Structure 1
Amino acid sequence: MKKLLILTIISGAGFYALKRYQKQVNAMPNIEY
């Protein structure tokens, strides 16, 4: 049960970070990869 909770928190944080990152990329379309 504890493992599932930790996994949910990690995946949620990763999803939030990805959304923020995509917003930054959209704001700066000339970014270099």
Structure 2
Amino acid sequence: LNTLPRKALDWLTPLEKFAQLVDYHKAFETVAPHV
């Protein structure tokens, strides 16, 4: 990760958090019934 530019590292964290949120939302939809 040290080889990546600082700006890339700044964007990496929020993108990872967003990806995890999307994955959690998809998993929640598969478990929870659609109303």
The normalised TM-score by structure 1 is 0.69
Deviation, structure 1 residue 2: 2.2
Decide which structure has greater helix share: 1
How many aligned residue pairs are there?
Answer: 31
Greater relative contact order: 1 or 2 (C-alpha under 8 angstroms, separation 6 or more)?
2
Q: Which runs of 4+ in 1 moved over 4 A?
A: none
The normalised TM-score by structure 2 is 0.67
Report the structure number with the largest CA radius of gyration: 2
5+ residue gaps, structure 1, are: none
5+ residue gaps, structure 2, are: none
